[in-house]
Amino acid sequence: MPAAGPRVGAPPSAGAPIATFVPEDGSVLVRVAPVAGFQGLMRVQDALARLRGIRQTAVEAYSQGEARLRLELTEVTDSDEIADGLAGTLSVPAQVRDASESERSMLIVLG
């Protein structure tokens, strides 16, 4: 795994665990909030799809400002790398609030 660079547009995580995800273990569920409407959802999906190490993104659900997306990976990545990439692409702060390797899921809060 490449060395982590400086966090882009995000404050240090507030004690959220860093989860490392391996492609061979299956897809990763990513929840992102707040996401404003359909356009916001499409921006988040597009931003995630552009990140290095992500093969495919699929929207699973959107409700009350929270988007739920499923990511297929091409390389080992961690929750902070995903949040940092999202922050850089959207030009908004993004912070990992929860991450679980065993559940293969994470929550990213924008803003």
What CATH number should be reported for the domain holding residue 61?
Answer: 3.30.70.100
The verdict on residue 12 lying in a domain is no
Cα 85 to Cα 14, 26, 31, 44, distances in angstroms: 18, 20, 15, 11
pLDDT value at residue 14? 54
The verdict on residue 47 lying in a domain is yes
At residue 16 the predicted structure's pLDDT band, cuts being 50, 70 and 90, is confident
The verdict on residue 91 lying in a domain is yes
What is the count of structural domains for the chain?
A: 1
Does 97 score more than 50 pLDDT? yes
Query: What residues have CB less than 8 Å from 38, skipping those under 6 apart?
Result: 62
Q: Quick one: what percent of the chain has pLDDT higher than 90?
A: 85
At residue 38 the predicted structure's pLDDT band, cuts being 50, 70 and 90, is very high
d(CA 38, CA 44): 10
Q: Which domain holds residue 51?
A: 23-110
The verdict on residue 8 lying in a domain is no
Q: Quick one: what percent of the chain has pLDDT higher than 70?
A: 86
The verdict on residue 2 lying in a domain is no
The verdict on residue 82 lying in a domain is yes
Does 13 score more than 60 pLDDT? no
Mean of all residue pLDDT scores within the chain: 89
Asked if the peptide bond before residue 23 counts as cis, ω within 30 degrees of 0, the response is: no
